Amino acid sequence: MSEYLRQTNRKNMAKEIFDKVEAIIVEIQAAQPEGAEAIEQFRIKYLGTKNIIKPLMGEIRNIPNEQKKEFGQLINKAKEVAEEKFAALQAVSVAEAAQSDANSIDLTAPGEPLALGARHPVSIMMNRIIEIFTRIGFTIAEEREIEADWYNFTAMNTPEDHPARDMQDTFYMRGIENMLLRTHTSSVQARVMTTQKPPIRIIAPGRVYRNETISSRSHCQFHQVEGLYVDEKVSFADMKQTLLYFAKEMYGPQTEIRLRPSYFPFTEPSAEMDVYWGLKDETDYRITKGTGWLEILGCGMVDPAVLENCGINSKKYTGFAFGMGIERQAMLKYRISDIRYLFENDVRLMKQFGRAF
């Protein structure tokens, strides 16, 4: 075959390839797929991994050198037309779907009632306690739950060799020396006394941790509210009247209290306070062990050593402190028999407190 015939055949073949690409562009522009499925088929045909434009790129070897640039531009145009067409089809489809959804809404239909949440019984009790004490001048102090040993124990008159450390099983932080999960919110008292000057009158609500076996009456995490009042001439009588006021506000104006001698390393003298719960039914007999009296908190006069540890002159200032568990009081008030119920997020329990705000 002569060179002339070869050149002629190559030009004819190139024209056929150009015409094929042009035909695909016209086909794309004329396409009018309707519905999501048809639009997806359009995408697969012209833009998918096995689209019909991609094989035409291989035909560039049959295009004369002077036309290769033109051919590449034509292929790119086919891709751009396909992408623009697909984007336009998608926009129309989304708009039609939104209009369809809007038309399907009956604006005259009554709204569906939304179920309201309920406060956790622990939150209810804590808020109630805070409200009572803030009413008589106590302010709220909050601090970290991961605490230094000094604030949790040493500052509170519990040095390393003190036997009182055996009273609380502690979670120590692995790999971090002298850091632990606080065992009581007394650490908040230590931080406040080291940063503020008397008079100090605070309550410290928060979560605490102890390495205890979980049972119906104890848990490894629970909540406390501790109180602290430090000023000149603060007496045991001041503490007693403050706690009597709290008991009457919390449990009713006829509430009786009693203070029994006890021991805490950070108070001296120390006491435990009971309220008279009564013996109205079998549950009362069980939780009060047949006495009618129920312990709700520990208290006492702040030990002078604690004041000195925190930089407060114990010869000039005195103070009292108290601490109570929130779960215990929630269990009493709402007759919850097992402390574990308070940590399981059982919807059946929470629904009972829908109105208790």
Instruction: Give residue 356's pLDDT.
Output: 43
- 227-276 per-position pLDDT tens digit: 999 999 999 999 999 999 999 999 889 989 999 999 988 999 999 999 88
Report the CATH number at residue 314: 3.30.930.10
| Cα separation values, 238 from 190, 214, 299, Å | 21, 37, 12
Q: Find out whether 93 and 33 touch, Cβ atoms under 8 Å.
A: no
Instruction: Give residue 74's pLDDT.
Output: 81
**Co-location of 84 and 173 in the same domain:** no
**Co-location of 125 and 97 in the same domain:** no
Q: How far apart are CA 197 and CA 190, in angstroms?
A: 12
From 12-16, 23-27, 352-356, the region with the lowest mean pLDDT: 352-356
pLDDT confidence bin for 8, thresholds 50/70/90? low
- 188-224 per-position pLDDT tens digit: 999 999 999 999 999 999 999 988 888 777 788 889 9
Instruction: Give residue 138's pLDDT.
Output: 95
Q: How far apart are CA 325 and CA 317, in angstroms?
A: 27
pLDDT at 6 over 70: no
Name the pairing type of β-strands 318-325 and 221-231. antiparallel
Average pLDDT over residues 37-50: 82
Name the pairing type of β-strands 200-209 and 221-231. antiparallel
Instruction: Give residue 114's pLDDT.
Output: 74
- C-alpha angle 75-76-78 in degrees, rounded to nearest 5: 65
Instruction: Give residue 168's pLDDT.
Output: 61
**Co-location of 239 and 323 in the same domain:** yes
The answer to whether residue 264 sits within a structural domain is yes
The answer to whether residue 198 sits within a structural domain is yes
**Co-location of 139 and 96 in the same domain:** no
pLDDT at 1 over 60: no
pLDDT confidence bin for 32, thresholds 50/70/90? confident
The answer to whether residue 203 sits within a structural domain is yes
- 274-295 per-position pLDDT tens digit: 988 888 877 777 777 888 888 8
**Co-location of 97 and 125 in the same domain:** no
Instruction: Give residue 111's pLDDT.
Output: 75
Instruction: Give residue 101's pLDDT.
Output: 60
Tell me the CB-side half-sphere exposure of residue 231, using CA atoms within 13 A: 12
| Of residues 335, 257, 336, the one with CA closest to residue 297 | 257
- 131-187 per-position pLDDT tens digit: 999 999 999 999 999 999 899 998 998 877 776 566 568 888 888 888 899 989 999
The answer to whether residue 113 sits within a structural domain is no
**Co-location of 64 and 157 in the same domain:** no
- 91-145 per-position pLDDT tens digit: 877 777 666 665 667 777 777 777 777 788 888 899 999 999 999 999 999 999 9
Other CB atoms closer than 10 Å to residue 300's CB: what's the count? Answer: 23
**Co-location of 160 and 249 in the same domain:** yes
Q: How far apart are CA 13 and CA 19, in angstroms?
A: 10
**Co-location of 76 and 213 in the same domain:** no
Instruction: Give residue 190's pLDDT.
Output: 93
**Co-location of 142 and 288 in the same domain:** yes
pLDDT at 357 over 50: no
State how many domains the chain has: 2
The answer to whether residue 109 sits within a structural domain is no
Q: What range does the domain containing 317 cover?
A: 121-353
The answer to whether residue 8 sits within a structural domain is yes
The answer to whether residue 114 sits within a structural domain is no
Average pLDDT, the chain: 84
Predicted structure pTM score: 0.64
The answer to whether residue 116 sits within a structural domain is no
**Co-location of 263 and 125 in the same domain:** yes
Out of 55, 76, 104, a domain closes at 104
- 306-323 per-position pLDDT tens digit: 999 999 999 999 999 999
**Co-location of 92 and 147 in the same domain:** no
- 50-81 per-position pLDDT tens digit: 888 878 777 777 777 778 788 778 888 888 88
85 versus 269: the higher-pLDDT residue is: 269
Instruction: Give residue 197's pLDDT.
Output: 92
Q: How far apart are CA 313 and CA 315, in angstroms?
A: 5
**Co-location of 86 and 204 in the same domain:** no
pLDDT at 38 over 80: yes
